[in-house]
Structure 1
Amino acid sequence: MSEQVFEKKYVYTVLPPRTGLLRNSWYKRSNEWRPYPSSCSVGLAFIAVSLFVLGLVLCHARKVESPAILTGMFFFGNGLIQIIMGIWAIVDDNLFGSTLLLCYGGFIMSYGAAASDLFGVISSYPTTANYTSAIVLFLSGWVVFDFLLFLSTFKSTIPLFALTFCKWFFMLLLTIAESGNHSAVRVVSGIFCFITSICAFYAFYDGMQTTASSYLPINEPSWLRMPAGHKEPDDEDKIAVI
C-alpha cells in the first residue's frame, strides 16, 4: 500500500494594525489555534504604571522629587519582566512590539542602574556636574531611538502614534531639563510622561479586553487608524505582509 502524504495548509487572514498588540502595520494571522497569547499587554502595563508614577515625581506631586521609589520596578518590572515579554513578542512574529519592549526594558534597567548608584556609577564621577553631563549623553541616544520609533507609526493607529510621540517628546524634554537643570522644563517633561502613561493604559486595556470578557470593549474602529494606514494591502501585497 502506497503511503499517503497529507499536506497541512494554513489559511491566513490579513489583519489591520492594533494598538493593544503593538502592531504598527498590517500582518498575517493563521486561522490555526495558537497556544501563544500576546505578551504586549504585560509590557504595556509596566510602561503605564512606571511612567504614571515617574510623571508624578517629575511634577513634584506631594513634594516628592526623587524617583528612588521606582528602583525596584526599574529592575524587576520594566527591566526583567519586559525583556521576557519582548522575547515572547518575537515568538509571536511581532517586530515592532518586540523592539519596543526589549529596548525600553533595557533602557529603563540601565537608567535605574545609573540613577541608583547600585553599580557605583554616580561615585565614579568626580563631580555632580560631570555625572549630569554623562546622563545627558546617555539620554540623548535614547531621544534619537524614540524619534525613529515614532516615525515607524505613521501608518499605525492614532493611539499608538500618540504613545510614541509623547514618549519621544518626554525624553527630549527630560534631556533638555537635565542638561541645564531647568526645573520648569522638568515639570513639563513630567506632564508628557504622565500623558504617555495614559496612552499606555489605553493600549494595555485594548490588548486585554474582548467582547467576551468586557462590557466596555474598544474593538478599535477603522477611524482610529492613521490616514496613511486605511488602505488595505492588495492581494499581491498580502503575501509579503508579516
Structure 2
Amino acid sequence: MSEIISNSETAVHNEPHDEKARAIAPVSTGPQYVVYPPRTGLLRVSYYKKSDQWRPYPTSCAAGLALSGITLFSLGLILCQANSVTNPAILSGSFFFASGLVQIITGIWAIVDNNLFGSVLLLCYGAFFTSFGAIVTDVMGVEDYYANTSDYDNALGIYLSAWTVFDFFLFTATFKSTIPLFVLTFCKWFFMLLYTIATFGEHEGCKVASGVFCFLTSMCAFYGVYDGLSSAANSYAPVPETKWLRMPGAWNEPEPDKIPLV
C-alpha cells in the first residue's frame, strides 16, 4: 500500500512511514488510508487519516509558524528592552504583512487541508498581529482618541484580556497533542497574561517577563517549522516520531472508525 511521507506528508512513497502509523483495512475501490499521530509542524492535535492518493499541494502550517516565530522573536526582545529598544514600531511591516496578511493566507490554506486547529491558530494569530500592530504602532492614531496615557493603557488592557482568554482555550486544545505544541500554546497564553497585567498596572518588570515568554514562544514556533520541513527524504536529522514527544493522552491510538476522515 502506498503511503504519504514527504515533509508535508502529501507525496506518495512505497516504503512504510514509521512504527506509529497504522494502516486501515484496504478496500478494493477508492483510496486507502494511513492513521498518523499528532504532529507539531503540521499543527495537528489529534490522530488523523491520510489517503494514499497523491495531492499536488503541501500544508501551509510550517510557513505560518515561521511568520509567527519571526515576529514573536523580535517582539519578545523589544519587550525585554534589548539594546534599550522599547518601541515596537519597527515591527509594523511584520505585523501587517508577514504575521498579518501572509499568515491569514496560510490559515485559509489550512482550511483546504481540513485542519481545524491549524486554521484557527493561523487565522486568529494573523488577525491578532494585524490589529495589535495597528494599535501599538499608532498607524491609525488610536492613542489620540484617549485623554491620557492611563485611559489608553486601560483600553489596551481590555483588548489584550480578550486575546488572553482565547489563548487559554487554544492551549486547552493541546492537552492530548505533542509536548512542543503544548509548550508553544502555553507560552503564548502566559505571554498574553503577563502582558495584559503589565498593561493594566504599568509594571515594567512584568512587561519584561512577558517578553521572555514571547521569546520562548518564538523558539517553539521555530521548532515547529523544523519539524514541518524535515523528513528522512531531505534531512539527516528529522524529528523522530517517538512517544516522548507526545502528551500522555496521545500515546494510545484510537480506533480507526472513530477518527474523522481528512
Instruction: Give the TM-score, by structure 2 length.
Output: 0.87
Is 1:149 equivalent to 2:149 in the alignment?
no
Q: Which residue pairs with 2:190 in the alignment?
A: 169
Question: Would you say the 8 A contact 2:38–2:48 is kept in 1?
Answer: yes
Residue 8 of structure 1: CA displacement?
Answer: 5.4
User: What is the identity, as a one-letter code, of the residue corresponding to 1:12?
Assistant: Y
**Which deviates the most, 174-183 or 219-228?**
219-228
Any unmatched runs of 5+ in structure 1? 1-6
Q: Which residue pairs with 2:30 in the alignment?
A: 9
Quote the RMSD (CA, aligned, Å): 1.3
Query: C-alpha offsets along residues 57-98 of structure 1, whole Å, 9 cap, x if unaligned?
Result: 111111101111111000000000000000000000000000
Q: Which residue pairs with 1:4 in the alignment?
A: none
Q: Aligned with 1:51: secondary structure?
A: helix
Instruction: Give the TM-score, by structure 1 length.
Output: 0.94
Query: Which of 121, 139, 146 matches 1:125?
Result: 146
Q: Aligned with 1:28: secondary structure?
A: strand
Q: Which residue pairs with 2:118 in the alignment?
A: 97
State the 4+ residue runs in structure 1 displaced beyond 4 angstroms.
none
Query: Which of 60, 74, 87 matches 1:66?
Result: 87
Equivalent residue runs for 1:107-118 within 5 Å: 107-118=128-139
1: CA distance between counterparts of 2:205 and 2:62? Answer: 33
Query: C-alpha offsets along residues 134-169 of structure 1, whole Å, 9 cap, x if unaligned?
Result: 100000000000000000001100000000000000
Question: Would you say the 8 A contact 2:72–2:214 is kept in 1?
Answer: yes
User: What is the identity, as a one-letter code, of the residue corresponding to 1:221?
Assistant: T
Equivalent residue runs for 1:1-242 within 5 Å: 9-238=30-259, 240=260, 242=262
Q: Aligned with 2:213: secondary structure?
A: helix
User: What is the identity, as a one-letter code, of the residue corresponding to 1:181?
Assistant: E
Residue 222 of structure 1: CA displacement?
Answer: 2.2
2: CA distance between counterparts of 1:224 and 1:215? Answer: 19
1: CA distance between counterparts of 2:256 and 2:158? Answer: 47
Question: Would you say the 8 A contact 1:56–1:194 is kept in 2?
Answer: yes
Question: Would you say the 8 A contact 1:36–1:92 is kept in 2?
Answer: no
Residue 223 of structure 1: CA displacement?
Answer: 1.8
Residue 120 of structure 1: CA displacement?
Answer: 2.1
User: What is the identity, as a one-letter code, of the residue corresponding to 1:91?
Assistant: V
Residue 35 of structure 1: CA displacement?
Answer: 1.1
User: What is the identity, as a one-letter code, of the residue corresponding to 1:151?
Assistant: T
Residue 219 of structure 1: CA displacement?
Answer: 2.9
The structure where helix makes up a greater share of residues is: 1
Question: How many residue pairs end up in the alignment?
Answer: 235
2: CA distance between counterparts of 1:196 and 1:94? Answer: 21
Q: Which residue pairs with 2:10 in the alignment?
A: none
Question: Would you say the 8 A contact 1:14–1:27 is kept in 2?
Answer: yes
Q: Aligned with 2:221: secondary structure?
A: helix
